[in-house]
Chains A and B, each alone.
Chain A
Amino acid sequence: MGAASDVQNRPGAKMASSSKGKVERRRLWMMMLIRRFEERTYQEYTKRGFEDPSGEVVKRIGGFCHLYSGQEAVAVGIAAVFEPKRDYLVNGYRDHGHALALGMSPNAAMAELFGRVTGCSRGKGGSMHFFQAEVGNMGGHGIVGGQIPLGVGMAFAAWYRKTGGVSFTLFGDGALNQGTFNESMNLASLWKLPCLFICENNGLAMGTQVHRSSAETDLARRGAGYAMPCRNVDGNDLNEVIAAVQEAAGRARAGEGPSFLVMNTYRFRGHSMSDPQKYRTREDLERARQRDPILLYERYLREQGLLEDGAVDQMDNEISQIVNEAVKFSEQSPHPDLRELYEHVLSEVYPLEK
């Protein structure tokens, strides 16, 4: 698909450093980190929990947990364009990968899954609610489509303050069928807000395939009624993702309004941890793994001469240590003090006189 030349030809794609390939190798590294983090999360989730003094077994990772394996190119591609000082990203609940790609420490991410006070949301959010305000990660959100209007509001804030910032508003293919999608796409386009609506189409709304939930199966066409550019993107091809996001972000920054990008990808794990995955065959999954975004990008780097032999193994070892350390850090971190129960409910103290 000529992805490489496509990216290089785009103005502002900043491929200058590709002579050394440092930036590109870092992107591969990040995709590998996300994969390893998620696969380790799977293991930790399924391990026997901690026995507390009363004898109750408390899970190491509780609640709903949605893994991102297979979709890494989307998060890393967005992060390649994201400007932490002025951009915002808001997300659905499959949010671990984006948090890591935007720079969250694996320790803070894993500790949140373990519910510890050292977690990115002090153990009060969990898997679906990873936040990192200082970089503009405005959170994972648990209700399908509920975050889309928030993303429009972040774009509004950038517009209101004329910062040139962009709101990366992410959601899955299932969210296209929520009313918030319609309302938000229309409003953002009407007001020409710098909002990138990015649908991560992994083909499955929980266990319901796109053809069983969307009358129009070409999901980019679902954006046709909102007077904004809409396109399908190969969400497994990191270069394609970066190019598409770069172009749309450029339009938004230039005041030309929102775009709708459908990142067609696939998730290798179930919807959440309890998913028996009866909606797909082993062959489906094997076919998808042929287009694993990490393998594709690794192949691309080799073809470009940017990856030396042994480099991947070295990265793998380094990442493995980082993830091991994150688990150890999480195990050793304290639970939130019970006093935290009533903290962070409100910002003000009442009665409030201002």
Chain B
Amino acid sequence: MPVIQFKEALRAAMIEEMERDENVFLLGEEVGEYNGAYKVSEGMLARFGPRRVLDTPISEAAFTGLGIGAAMCGLRPIVELMSWSFSLVCFDQLVNNAANIRYMSGGQFKIPIVFRGGNGIAHQLGATHSHRVDALFSRVPGLTVVAPSCPYDAKGLLKSAIRSDDPVIFLESEVMLNDRGEVPDEPYTLPIGRAYVRREGSDVTFICWSKMVKLCMAAAEKLQSEDGISAEVIDLRTLRPLDEDTLVSSIRKTNRCVVVDEDWPYCGMGAGIVERLYRRVFDDLDAPIGRVCCEDVPVPYNHYLEQAMQPSVPKVIAAAREVCYV
């Protein structure tokens, strides 16, 4: 199977869907002539022309809202946000317009649109450019939130997101764009709303997504070799709607769970997931659900402070040992 980069997988998904459906188009800052701030859309302007690959001014509210308005008319926009941190200046468009219009019109409109871009902490970008928007959008009814962890998932999930008639918040990570992985040449899609058991195990369940999956996989290997603890790693793939059943059945098997995420601790994504789980697995648990997440501070610039702020393999291992009472 061919091995390609995460960003190439995203690009392949967009190209295939744009070739499949004339209503699909791409817009955002620097997606065209610049070939994408992170080269995700490299070559797409040349391939599809300026009608379908559109460079926007730095006007997030205008171009996200433009996408929503066009989607109300039946087009299927892919809107690239250079960073999800910039979504804070168009939050009204995403939350009030993309998420609400179907409901408040009594179902008169579909909003088939994908917003995609880099989410989370990259390398020393400071507090304003390192936001994790997972929980900000996953708490909003009317939105679907997808966060792939590898090139194969990125392609299959982005294709499904583009085909969905609902607004999809698609969370990538700048630091994963060059990750490589096997991706078949043949077209495929992956289901939205289903988690994936990335590693089977029997002693503790790790719940993670996006960038945290690699971290949890590394922690699982170490736990196996150092403590003989067998960790099951569940890659959520979709944050909303949450695939509770897959999580619950894993926890009923392992009786222990650690949720690992990049968000802040209070009211963060992990907190929301834990709340959902407790109602269903309380009697199955041998220990309180563990959490590894970011420290409760803005994201610092300094490399060591930034590292200390984030989840790490040792932090995940420590949390696993704690719930296993090792």
Q: Chain A: residues with CB nearer than 8 A to chain B?
A: 88, 90, 119-126, 129, 131-133, 138-139, 141-143, 146-158, 160, 167, 179-180, 183-184, 186-187, 190-191, 343-348, 350-354
Residue in B69, B101, B102, B141 whose Cβ sees the most chain A Cβ within 10 Å? B69
Q: How far is the CA of A347 from the CA of B144 in the complex (A)?
A: 11
**CB-CB under 8 A for A160 and B106, given A153-B72, A180-B65, A352-B164:** no
16 additional A-B residue pairs with CB within 8 Å, beyond A131-B108, A150-B72, A347-B164: A90-B69, A121-B104, A125-B106, A131-B106, A133-B109, A146-B93, A152-B65, A153-B65, A153-B72, A157-B73, A184-B62, A186-B59, A344-B102, A347-B102, A347-B111, A351-B192
- A sample of 14 inter-chain contacts (CB < 8 A) reads A88-B73, A121-B104, A126-B104, A131-B108, A142-B96, A149-B69, A152-B62, A154-B72, A179-B89, A347-B112, A348-B165, A350-B241, A352-B191, A352-B192
B69's partner among A123, A151, A343 (CB-CB below 8 A) is: A151
| Residues in chain A near residue B73, CB distance under 8 A | 88, 153-154, 157-158
Residue of A nearest to B71 (CB): A153
Q: How large is the interface on B (under 10, 10 to 19, 20 to 34, 35 or more residues)?
A: 35 or more
B249-275 interface with A by 8 A CB criterion: none
Contact (Cβ within 8 A) A157 B74: yes
Contact (Cβ within 8 A) B70 A160: yes
Contact (Cβ within 8 A) B105 A133: yes
Contact (Cβ within 8 A) A346 B96: no
* Chain B 31-71 interface 0/1 with A at a Cβ cutoff of 8 Å (1 = within): 00000000000000000000100101101011111111111
Closest approach, in angstroms, between the C-beta of B66 and any C-beta of chain A? 4
Residue of A nearest to B165 (CB): A347
Q: How far is the CA of A142 from the CA of B93 in the complex (A)?
A: 12
**CB-CB under 8 A for A354 and B160, given A133-B105, A146-B92, A150-B69:** yes
Closest approach, in angstroms, between the C-beta of A90 and any C-beta of chain B? 7
Contact (Cβ within 8 A) A122 B107: yes
Contact (Cβ within 8 A) A186 B108: no
Q: Check B311 for interface membership: any CB of A closer than 8 A.
A: no
Q: How far is the CA of A152 from the CA of B73 in the complex (A)?
A: 12
Contact (Cβ within 8 A) A138 B72: yes
| Residues in chain B near residue A150, CB distance under 8 A | 65-66, 68-69, 72, 97
Closest approach, in angstroms, between the C-beta of B241 and any C-beta of chain A? 5
| Residues in chain B near residue A88, CB distance under 8 A | 73
**CB-CB under 8 A for A154 and B165, given A351-B243, A354-B160:** no
Contact (Cβ within 8 A) B68 A149: yes
Contact (Cβ within 8 A) B106 A149: no
Closest approach, in angstroms, between the C-beta of B236 and any C-beta of chain A? 12
| Residues in chain B near residue A353, CB distance under 8 A | 160, 189, 191
* Chain B 143-180 interface 0/1 with A at a Cβ cutoff of 8 Å (1 = within): 01000000000000000100111100000000000000
| Residues in chain B near residue A187, CB distance under 8 A | 56-57, 59, 62-63, 66
